[in-house]
Amino acid sequence: MTDKDCVAEYSFDFSADNALEKYLELEQTERAQIIESVINEAKSGLFKRTDNHGNPEDTFSDIAKMWSVYLGKQIESEDVANMMILLKVCRAKNSPNYRDNWVDIIGYSACGAACKVKTDR
């Protein structure tokens, strides 16, 4: 399967639930409020998870080491973030109205960025 085939196979069809159409019908201020609330929820969740699980850079590094052994291939901490984002993308494809998927994608993106900054130092 080529990259183009992969993108085509997993492209979103929002028409089933009319989610995109409903979103675009909202006033710009309502859309901005939705975006802001999702970002704030992701930020809040990151801090709560850090309190429970430790900082994401160390956690994702540990996961990368375990996945590397399991797969027999070197995995970096930012790869962990990318793969978790892909997991959430698959879930969002099947449940586009489930807010948690979108919140978690933002959280994993932030964790991936933090991991990359740490590995580049």
CB 17 within 8 A of CB 78: no
Helices and strands (H, E) in the chain, number of each type: 6, 0
CB 116 within 8 A of CB 59: no
User: Within 13 Å of residue 19, how many CA atoms lie on the same side as its CB?
Assistant: 13
- Give the domain range for residue 50: 26-120
DSSP labels, 38-61: HHHHHHHHHHHHHHHH--HHHHHH
CB 53 within 8 A of CB 111: no
Look at residue 87 and tell me if it is in a domain: yes
Look at residue 108 and tell me if it is in a domain: yes
| Amino acid in the structure at residue 34 | I
Q: What is the model's pTM?
A: 0.73
Q: How far apart are CA 71 and CA 105, in angstroms?
A: 24
Look at residue 88 and tell me if it is in a domain: yes
Q: How far apart are CA 54 and CA 76, in angstroms?
A: 18
Domain count for the chain, please give it: 1
Q: What is the pLDDT along the chain (121 residues), one digit of tens a residue?
A: 444 444 444 444 444 466 667 777 778 888 888 889 999 999 988 888 888 888 889 999 999 999 999 999 999 999 999 999 999 999 999 998 899 999 999 999 999 999 988 878 7
Look at residue 43 and tell me if it is in a domain: yes
